[in-house]
Structure 1
Amino acid sequence: MAGTRVRIASLGPLLALSAALLLTAGCGDDPAPRGQGGASRTEEGRKTGPVVVVTTTWEGAFARAAGAEDVTVIVPRSVHHAPDYDPKPSDLAAVAGADFVLYAPFEPYAAKIKEAAGSKAKLVEVDLDNDAETVRAEVTRLAGLFGTAGEAATWRTGFDREYTRLRKELKAAWPGGRSPVVVSQVFTTWSAELAGVTPAGTYGPEAVTPAQLAELSGRKPRFVLDNAHMSTGTVLPDSGAEQIEIVNYPDESLDLLEVYRGAAAELKKALGS
């Protein structure tokens, strides 16, 4: 996603609102001040642990897996390309009360939002990749920041069990018991790994060039694993390859396992065809 142009024009009015928001926050009753790393609030009806604001449901799923309960998502899931989002005043208000703000490198407006809000939140860059090893490492790292190591360990145990189950099912669905030839968008290679398949080639995030088109088609792939959030249509026309749209972001439930189950369902359907 390098080179993406990001619109942050709406942050101007947000700067004007920051002082008022901070004054309002200072006048409220908060008998249990928040700190960084495992902060706790015990008022009846309120969630415990750190207050986490995330740019998208993807970061939100990582935070939830790491053990965070109080998670607020800024960018609606309907916005498939997060850097195109224009933050609203309500986003500023959410950041002003956060302990942590999670963002990805291709979402540079996150730092601008924090600056506009005058927030003392810790800004945390997340490696957004559903590769299993990356997920385990990021969940562990975030749990260290949040003070939720126990919750994260429990999640990782469930993740490992479900990942193993899905991988076994997909390998059993290989046509003729042989690994199919696939090419993948660079941000969906994790789904090939889930199926136990090594991609014969990758493309993106830039548009496929004529030379790439010829090279990838020459690999005679059976499947193309496309990124649903950055799709440009049919990637390898006339190649005969079936294109599968892989979704990286979870829904509002922030359940990262549902992303793996969804990808497995699409892959299994295609393998069976």
Structure 2
Amino acid sequence: MNGKKKLAISLLLIALAASMASAAGWKKKKNKSSVTASTSWTAAFADIAGVDSVNTIAPASMRHPPEYEITVDDILTVNKSKVFIYAGFERMMQTLGSNGGTSSVQMVQITCDNSVATVTASAEKIAAVTGTQAKMKERLAEYTDYIAAAAADIEKKGLKGARVLCNKNQIYLAKDLGLDVAATFGPGPVTSAQIADAQAGGYAFIIDNVHNPVGQPLAEVAPDAAYIIWRNFPEETGRGALLTVVKQNVTQLDK
């Protein structure tokens, strides 16, 4: 299917969604408090930003939520929203575009990784739109305080500066925890050079990404390195979802 046909289909879906919304009698005034997020990860950022009720488009149960194919019902959900939060790498954005298919939805694009710097910047960006700055300060402090405490605990255990061979999608938290990300791999298949490096690199940890794990060949040639698999997208949405993910990731360092 060529680009023009894809665009035509996308526009048709959006027009159909708008028509169905009108026929169902939805009124704009009912949507003023509605916030929708593309995935459980962007929803988790909204939670830290102080938003208490967030619709999520891609199911949290998916291994790789960005691949989710949006449906007409999903488009209706977005169109009913006041705010739509997304990262930009989601497949659904090929259909929704930068305005969600309707000018009435405020589109908020954020950066997604679990570093303190990015979580802070993205939460502040969302809160500025939703007016939830007070809640954001409290929830953000909870997140940053945990990262600081975890880093201190890692240092106490003698793991600060431990050499890590890390999936590119997991380097941010590893660095914040005080680990030495000496080399990276992924998201594509590992190369022969990376396998040789894993064998000779003296790594304490090989950290892979559960949403697209490719590091098993590296672990096979580096038996002294602890092979652990971290998560970014929460398996469940709701209060404290991102902090739960980070805590689970940190716990694996005790292997």
Residue of structure 1 in register with 2:95 after alignment: 112
1:33-44 maps to which residues of 2 (within 5 A)?
Answer: 34=32
**SS across alignment from 2:169:** coil
CA RMSD of aligned residues (A): 2.7
Give the unaligned 5+ runs of structure 1. 1-6, 35-49
User: TM-score scaled to structure 2, two decimals?
Assistant: 0.84
TM-superposed CA distance for 1:219, in Å, is 1.5
- Give the CA deviation at 1:105: 2.4
Question: Can you list the C-alpha shifts for 1:22-62, whole angstroms capped at 9, x where unaligned?
Answer: 3135x34565673xxxxxxxxxxxxxxx4211111000000
Partner of 1:228: 210
Number of residue pairs aligned between Structure 1 and Structure 2: 245
Superposition deviation, residue 233 in structure 1: 5.0
Q: Distance in 2 between matches of 1:31 and 1:201?
A: 52
Provide Cα deviations, 1:213-233, integer angstroms capped at 9, x if missing partner.
Answer: 223433221210001111025
The one-letter amino acid of 1:195's match is L
| 2:187 is the counterpart of 1:205 | yes
Equivalent position of 1:66 in the other structure:
49
Q: Which amino acid letter does the alignment assign opposite residue 260 of structure 1?
A: V
1:266 equivalent in structure 2: 252
**Match for residue 245 of structure 1 among 224, 229, 235:** 229
Structure having the larger proportion of residues in helix: 2
Name whichever of 69-78 and 116-125 sits farther off: 116-125
Q: Distance in 1 between matches of 2:7 and 2:57?
A: 14
Asked if the contact 1:81–1:230 (Cα under 8 Å) also holds between the matched residues in 2, the reply is yes
Cα 1:99–1:167 change in 2 (3 A) is same
Fraction of identical pairs, as percent: 26
More displaced stretch, 199-208 vs 51-60: 199-208
* Corresponding letter in the other structure for 1:84: E
- Following superposition of structure 1 onto structure 2, how do residues 95-244 of structure 1 map, counting pairs within 5 Å? 95-110=78-93, 112-113=95-96, 117-118=101-102, 120-174=104-158, 179-232=161-214, 234-236=216-218, 237-240=220-223, 241-244=225-228
Moved over 6 A (4+): 7-10
Deviation at 1:86, TM superposition (A): 1.3
Residue 119 of structure 1 and its aligned partner are, at CA, apart by 5.6
> TM-score if structure 1 supplies the norm length?
0.79
Alignment of 1:7-86 (within 5 A): 14-15=13-14, 17-24=16-23, 27-28=25-26, 34=32, 50-86=33-69
- Separation in structure 2 between the aligned mates of residue 116 and residue 18 of structure 1, nearest angstrom: 11
